[in-house]
């Protein structure tokens, strides 16, 4: 098997891998880099134009899905194999991405935006092919037949990893994985059978796993924090990805309210997250690969955030819980806008509940000391950070020790690292060399083919 990392850099970025099984060319994921805008946000699609036989989509986060319309446009005969749940989500998330690119074109004056059109998204929709979990599916012919089997990956609704067996060589691709159950998705169910090649994410490779920060303990700390802020008359902003994370947090709040443990206050959500609630509810009825019920919204009395914000620096019009996207407080998003009403006020708080890239506004806010300044570019406002800013470890990615243990169980000859920043890859290299002294650990150079068999 020959692997080429199509991502533009050794980071989380625009995930995309070319796997060549003999003559059969398969692309796994085709994301868009969240830190770049326009063409620099794309993977190296020029290396695969017109030559792809099959496409696999592991899940619908934009760092895996965002530029799929361009790959499908360039390879119109390839099917996109994915879980049944993903076939229900892909179009909705791509349409949102298209709308965001339209806004960026105006605001940033980037002429090559949007990178694709509504009809490209329709082409993706037509190319999607649902593959049942734990059931082999063959692609390619004769010598180059590949047997694919998809397995639940935890992480987010619809996420899968898969094995690919070609001429007796077994490759396992984790995609983004979480081995702990969440409220809307069960834990990953990966077989622990030996593999020759393991292609593994390593998002949390540089994150020390704190034993006390078990999920349940972190959830209790978050709930105590919310109640403390609401009881003193403040507002809590929880920035959250609209897809997956927001619904997880809604179920978390609903369970706490059901036990009588949540302070009574209005809860606001932003539009895309609420819209995606319908998609998750539909997918949980139709596929049983996840569980989310719209009744959560009624029980919590969720209020759709109307974008009539108070002036920057002033308190929100109504105190309450603001569960808004984006999770990394990206500029111009509802969460960023409401942060401009929260940060100056000592009774309020911003609670981060997921991964924040250090270069994102969320990451920058976390790094700002109390009393420091945080600039809202475009709002003509510099906040003095008086609100509580806190992080809660409720990641949707596996701990680094769990990844090493998984690699040990599969005992591969080759491990290929993906989906991690350089420090994360460094830690994994050292830990894997110790755990699997006979295996070769690869940190592939983007764009350069790596022969693994």
Interface positions with Zn ion (CB under 5 A): 61, 63, 176
How near is the Cβ of 29 to Zn ion at its closest, in Å? 8
Distances (CA, A) of 35 to 72, 125, 155, 416: 23, 26, 21, 24
Residue 69 or 161: the one with the smaller Cβ distance to Zn ion is 161
How near is the Cβ of 160 to Zn ion at its closest, in Å? 11
User: In whole angstroms, what is the distance from residue 362 CA to residue 355 CA?
Assistant: 9
Residue 22 or 363: the one with the smaller Cβ distance to Zn ion is 363
How near is the Cβ of 256 to Zn ion at its closest, in Å? 26
How near is the Cβ of 180 to Zn ion at its closest, in Å? 15
Residue 96 or 348: the one with the smaller Cβ distance to Zn ion is 96
How near is the Cβ of 155 to Zn ion at its closest, in Å? 6
Residue 161 or 320: the one with the smaller Cβ distance to Zn ion is 161
How near is the Cβ of 453 to Zn ion at its closest, in Å? 26
Q: What angle do CA 151, 155, 160 make, to 5 degrees?
A: 25
Residue 63 or 248: the one with the smaller Cβ distance to Zn ion is 63
Residue nearest to Zn ion (CB): 61
How near is the Cβ of 59 to Zn ion at its closest, in Å? 6
User: Residues 84, 130: contact at Cβ < 8 Å?
Assistant: yes
Residue 234 or 420: the one with the smaller Cβ distance to Zn ion is 420
Residue 15 or 341: the one with the smaller Cβ distance to Zn ion is 15
**Interaxial angle between packed helices 84-108 and 118-127, expressed in degrees from 0 to 180 and rounded to the nearest 10:** 170
Output the DSSP codes for 152-196: E--SSTT-EEEEEEETTEEEEE--S---S--SSSPPP-------S
Residue 155 or 337: the one with the smaller Cβ distance to Zn ion is 155
Please name which of 365, 372, 300 lies closest in space to residue 338, comparing C-alpha atoms. 365
Residue 16 or 341: the one with the smaller Cβ distance to Zn ion is 16
Please name which of 55, 349, 57, 124 lies closest in space to residue 227, comparing C-alpha atoms. 349
How near is the Cβ of 198 to Zn ion at its closest, in Å? 17
How near is the Cβ of 342 to Zn ion at its closest, in Å? 27
Phi, psi values for residue 434, rounded to 5°: -75, -45
Residue 63 or 219: the one with the smaller Cβ distance to Zn ion is 63
241: tokens are 């990805």
How near is the Cβ of 64 to Zn ion at its closest, in Å? 5
User: Residues 4, 450: contact at Cβ < 8 Å?
Assistant: yes
What's 369's DSSP letter? Answer: P
> From the centroid of its chain, how far is CA 388?
26
User: Residues 321, 266: contact at Cβ < 8 Å?
Assistant: yes
Output the DSSP codes for 302-352: -EEPPS-PPPTTSPPSS-SEEEES-TT--TTSHHHHHHHHHTT-TT-EEEE
Cβ-based neighbours of 238, under 8 Å, separated by 6 or more: 249, 321, 322, 323, 324, 350, 351, 352, 353
Residue 174 or 348: the one with the smaller Cβ distance to Zn ion is 174
User: In whole angstroms, what is the distance from residue 414 CA to residue 406 CA?
Assistant: 14
| Extended beta strands in 195-235, E state | 197-201
How near is the Cβ of 405 to Zn ion at its closest, in Å? 21
């Amino acid at each position: 098997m020959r692997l080429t990392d199509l991502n533009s850099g050794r980071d989380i970025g625009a995930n995309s891998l070319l796997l060549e099984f003999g003559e059969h060319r398969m692309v796994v994921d085709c994301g868009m880099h969240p830190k770049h805008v326009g063409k620099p946000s794309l993977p190296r699609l020029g290396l695969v134009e017109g030559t792809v036989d099959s496409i696999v989509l592991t899940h619908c986060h934009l760092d895996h899905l965002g530029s799929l319309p361009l790959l499908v446009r360039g390879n119109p005969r390839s099917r996109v194999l994915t879980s049944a749940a993903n076939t229900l989500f892909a179009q909705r998330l791509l349409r949102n991405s298209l709308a965001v690119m339209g806004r960026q074109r105006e605001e940033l004056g980037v002429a090559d935006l949007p990178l694709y059109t509504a009809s490209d998204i329709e082409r993706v929709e037509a190319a999607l092919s649902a593959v049942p979990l734990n059931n082999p599916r063959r692609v390619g012919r004769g010598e180059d037949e590949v047997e694919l089997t998809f397995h639940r990956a935890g992480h987010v609704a619809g996420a899968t990893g898969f094995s690919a067996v070609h001429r007796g060589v077994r490759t396992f691709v984790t995609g983004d994985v979480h081995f702990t159950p969440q409220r809307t998705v069960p834990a990953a169910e990966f077989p622990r059978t030996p593999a020759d090649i393991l292609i593994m994410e390593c998002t949390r490779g540089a994150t020390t796993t704190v034993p006390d920060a078990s999920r349940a303990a972190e959830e209790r700390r978050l709930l105590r924090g919310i109640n403390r802020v609401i009881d003193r008359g403040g507002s809590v902003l929880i920035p959250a990805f609209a897809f997956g994370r927001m619904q997880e947090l809604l179920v978390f709040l609903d369970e706490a309210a059901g036990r009588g443990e949540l302070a009574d206050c209005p809860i606001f959500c932003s539009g895309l997250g609420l819209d995606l609630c319908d998609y998750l509810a539909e997918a949980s009825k139709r596929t049983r690969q996840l569980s989310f019920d719209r009744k959560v919204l009624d029980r919590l009395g969720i209020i759709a955030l109307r974008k009539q914000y108070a002036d920057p620096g002033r308190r929100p019009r109504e105190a309450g819980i603001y569960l808004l996207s984006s999770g990394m407080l990206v500029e111009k998003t509802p969460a960023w806008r409401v942060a401009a009403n929260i940060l100056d006020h000592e009774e309020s708080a911003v609670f981060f509940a997921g991964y924040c890239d250090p270069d994102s506004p969320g990451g920058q806010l976390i790094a700002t000391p109390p009393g420091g300044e945080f600039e809202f570019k475009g709002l003509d406002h510099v906040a003095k950070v008086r609100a509580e800013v806190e992080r809660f470890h409720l990641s949707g990615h596996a701990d680094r020790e769990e990844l090493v243990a998984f690699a040990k169980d599969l005992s591969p000859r080759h491990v290929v690292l993906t989906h991690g920043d350089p420090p994360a890859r460094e830690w994994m290299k050292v830990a894997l060399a110790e755990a699997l002294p006979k295996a070769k650990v690869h940190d592939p150079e983007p764009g350069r083919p790596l022969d693994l068999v």
